[in-house]
Structure 1
């Protein structure tokens, strides 16, 4: 961690965490899937606030799954696996995150308290191979959840600004957070493995619709936030 703990916030049942917004730096590798309704991760619809609905294509939900390596340039340094479903409120597109794991208790506490993101803790392994492939895996309580071999390809030379708004509901609290990702975006060659009996088992065997990578990303999370009745 690069930020001193002065000004950090206390959680009810966990460690202190940085106040919003969070400035993070890292690398992303992931894929988009079209997921049948009966194969969505548990709790997907529970994570979506009122007046929002899943975006579907041919009756299937559009879902992104991404491993993120946040380095030491931000307020926190940690590994993450997140699942994000595209939702809409009228013509506005947001994402809702029903499943997410990190290896940082501080990130878990802050994500839940600040933005109603249901972060859990997990164990990650990450290895950068000489051939450019990055292998990352997640297990929870000793059981495998997912792994990814990713080779970034055609990464752009210019950093692009990607707006990202999360729409979340957790423990009766709804939060809309406007966030920004600035990074060099490219494609990727990926190979996913999802444990069939794990929390993402419904994704096992699905072919990605598209693969992506974001290199040297700068993330501002919680740049503008609306909570409670204003978003319900």
Structure 2
């Protein structure tokens, strides 16, 4: 099994008027989504975060019946604007990953500031790394966690597949012995998705999904979803 994962480099749809992404400059960098190189220093002044009503995002998100069996609840929606909005690649709780591989943080008032880098390389699956086949174009995935079944170590993930102007976020598993399971949809989005992340809750099979949903003009929307998934991955095999 691979022991280190590179950072994602998703492609924003040309149909939305966004530019194609150049190749990564190094294995630890992300492709740019705009001409401006954003750093933790200038991102403080070039990313504006504003809370939105949860219903705005709910109109574009449809949870699958299996995901709704327990808890699937949108708990926050944040509009991302400014010159560096196109450089936002990943959102995990209060931490934001930029296109050059650097991190910034947000506070309770959604003000952005610099922070030390996080080590999530082993959690992020890049678009060109091994992944299961599914309908659509694979964008990226994020590790949910580990479990054991019949003494085998299994790794669970959530991943993004682009389908035209929409996207599907699905769960899947992998093990050294059996490879990948068939992805199982968690929810669909009417708009493209740059990335999804996961932050686990303690002691329960649940956590926070962090979704970066594409908006027009290079802006984005961060959507936090509380998801309880007891038994979801067990059904995959």
TM class, shorter-chain normalised?
Answer: under 0.3
**Which structure's residues are more often strand, by fraction?**
1
Length-normalised TM-score, structure 2: 0.24
